[in-house]
């Protein structure tokens, strides 16, 4: 480790846990730690923990002879990156929390606040599976479905901080209800949670999406049907994404990507069937795993730093 080397304090705050790291400007992680979010304590306590952990990481960097130059924080929900405000988050309980300024005051470091999936996409596009692609759509499929559209290393935020909500593309008008209040959204049909729910509904026995994938591969007709429905809906959603964004590479992350070829082989075929004049994107699995959010938060902080010093 180079003495005096620069690092970014990076935090990826989720509903259950926080992934935290010291990241070098080249994307290498020099130190990582995890903490519980414990969202049930309420948003003020969660903010307190975020600030304490960030301050602790900056102190750890200095103790190790490193220089913390910036702080990047990723949170779920609706994030106003320009104002640095966590506008709304169902699973952490944030409502208009000015997290960027709070962290900047506490740490005395330039700070950036980003959306967890958007910065995850940033990291996959610049350091991971979408590297060198230029135009990348990163789609995270877990309990929900969200995406990031990254062009030349920069993720679109949207006018209201809500770009990339591909999980709420309407794919089945007569489909199951979505958490957003409307029936038939992509994530109500094809998220990992939705797949488990659908299988349980038809079979009467609970199962995870991974188990449904395994049973489908083993030839169980019901699991095969549920998996097929999900893959078809995903292909519909991705075809819409490709019509809008014309990307070179679609990177699939989140828990569902763990299904590997059981997901990617039929999904690639189903997407191909839906494309007419649009060029077929490369469809690949995410490469950075659950580190993507932390790395992306660091990249966002470095981008902000570069802009401020210009």
In the complex, the residues that contact Zn ion under the rule CB under 5 A are 168, 178, 180, 185
Residues 6+ apart with CB under 8 A from 221: none
Judged by beta carbon, residue 86 or residue 178, the one nearer Zn ion is 178
At its nearest, how many Å lie between Zn ion and the CB of residue 177? 9
The 10 Å CB-count burial string (b at 16+, else e) for 94-105 is beebbbbebbbe
202-209 own/partner pairs: CB under 8 Å, 24+ apart: 202/226, 209/255, 209/256, 209/259
- Cα–Cα distance measured from residue 155 to residue 169, given in angstroms and rounded to the nearest whole number: 19
Task: Quickly list H helices, 64-191.
Answer: 99-107, 116-126, 186-190
At its nearest, how many Å lie between Zn ion and the CB of residue 175? 10
CA angle 194, 198, 199 (to 5 degrees): 120
Judged by beta carbon, residue 118 or residue 168, the one nearer Zn ion is 168
Question: In this structure, what are the phi and psi dihedrals at residue 156, rounded to the nearest 5 degrees?
Answer: -70, 135
Residue for token pair 């330039």? 110
At its nearest, how many Å lie between Zn ion and the CB of residue 146? 11
Judged by beta carbon, residue 20 or residue 178, the one nearer Zn ion is 178
- Which of 96, 72, 85 has the alpha carbon at shortest distance from 12? 72
Question: In this structure, what are the phi and psi dihedrals at residue 306, rounded to the nearest 5 degrees?
Answer: -65, -40
At its nearest, how many Å lie between Zn ion and the CB of residue 171? 10
CA 215 to chain centroid, in Å, comes to 27
Q: Which two tokens stand for residue 15?
A: 């509903």
- Cα–Cα distance measured from residue 286 to residue 267, given in angstroms and rounded to the nearest whole number: 15
Judged by beta carbon, residue 130 or residue 167, the one nearer Zn ion is 167
Instruction: Give the H or E element holding residue 47.
Output: helix 43-63
Judged by beta carbon, residue 8 or residue 166, the one nearer Zn ion is 166
Judged by beta carbon, residue 82 or residue 180, the one nearer Zn ion is 180
Judged by beta carbon, residue 149 or residue 168, the one nearer Zn ion is 168
At its nearest, how many Å lie between Zn ion and the CB of residue 39? 21
At its nearest, how many Å lie between Zn ion and the CB of residue 281? 24
At its nearest, how many Å lie between Zn ion and the CB of residue 170? 8
Judged by beta carbon, residue 185 or residue 226, the one nearer Zn ion is 185
- Which of 168, 73, 169, 166 has the alpha carbon at shortest distance from 115? 73
At its nearest, how many Å lie between Zn ion and the CB of residue 67? 44
**N- to C-terminal Cα distance for the chain?**
28
């Amino acid at each position: 480790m180079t003495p005096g080397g620069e690092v970014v304090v990076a935090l990826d705050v989720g509903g259950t846990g926080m992934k935290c790291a010291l990241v070098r400007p080249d994307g290498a992680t020099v130190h990582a730690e995890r903490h519980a979010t414990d969202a049930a304590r309420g948003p003020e306590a969660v903010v307190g923990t975020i600030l304490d952990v960030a301050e602790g990481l900056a102190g750890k960097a200095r103790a190790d002879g490193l220089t913390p130059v910036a702080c990047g924080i990723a949170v779920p929900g609706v994030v106003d990156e320009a104002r640095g405000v966590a506008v709304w988050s169902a699973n952490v309980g944030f409502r208009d929390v000015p997290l960027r300024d709070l962290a900047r005051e506490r740490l005395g470091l330039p700070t950036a606040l980003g959306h967890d999936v958007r910065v995850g996409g940033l990291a996959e596009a610049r350091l991971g599976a979408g590297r060198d692609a230029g135009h990348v759509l990163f789609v995270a499929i877990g309990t929900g479905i969200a995406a990031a559209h990254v062009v030349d290393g920069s993720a679109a935020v949207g006018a209201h901080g809500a770009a990339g909500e591909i999980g709420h593309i309407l794919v089945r008008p007569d489909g199951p209800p979505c958490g957003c209040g409307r029936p038939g959204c992509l994530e109500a049909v094809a998220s990992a949670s939705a797949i488990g729910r659908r299988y349980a509904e038809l079979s009467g026995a609970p199962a995870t999406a991974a188990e449904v994938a395994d049973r489908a591969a083993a030839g169980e007709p019901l699991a095969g049907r549920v998996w097929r429905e999900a893959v078809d809906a995903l292909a519909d959603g991705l075809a819409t994404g490709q019509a809008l964004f014309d990307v070179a590479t679609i990177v699939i992350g989140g828990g569902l990507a763990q299904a590997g070829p059981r997901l990617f082989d039929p999904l690639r075929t189903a997407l191909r069937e839906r494309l007419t004049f649009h060029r077929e994107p490369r469809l690949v699995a995410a490469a950075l795993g659950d580190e993507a959010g932390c790395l992306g938060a660091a990249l966002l902080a470095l981008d902000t730093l570069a802009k401020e010093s210009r």
